[in-house]
């Protein structure tokens, strides 16, 4: 179960990081 959780985290983490990072940058430099 630990392995599945880690894989799931890695699966959605990058997507959230990229989307959130871009939105955060736009809001910061807007």
pLDDT for res 27: 92
* Cα separation of the two ends of the chain: 42
pLDDT digit string, tens, across residues 1-30: 555 665 655 565 566 677 888 898 899 887
Report field, pTM of the whole predicted structure over 0.75: no
Q: Which two tokens stand for residue 18?
A: 């990229």
User: The domain containing residue 25 runs over which residues?
Assistant: 1-29
Backbone Cα Rg of the chain: 13
Give pLDDT, residue 19.
Answer: 82
pLDDT at 15: 64
Domain tally, the chain: 1
- Predicted pLDDT of residue 5: 60
Residue 17: what pLDDT? 76
């Amino acid at each position: 179960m630990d392995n599945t959780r880690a894989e799931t985290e890695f699966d959605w983490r990058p997507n959230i990081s990229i989307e959130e990072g871009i939105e955060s940058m736009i809001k910061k430099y807007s």
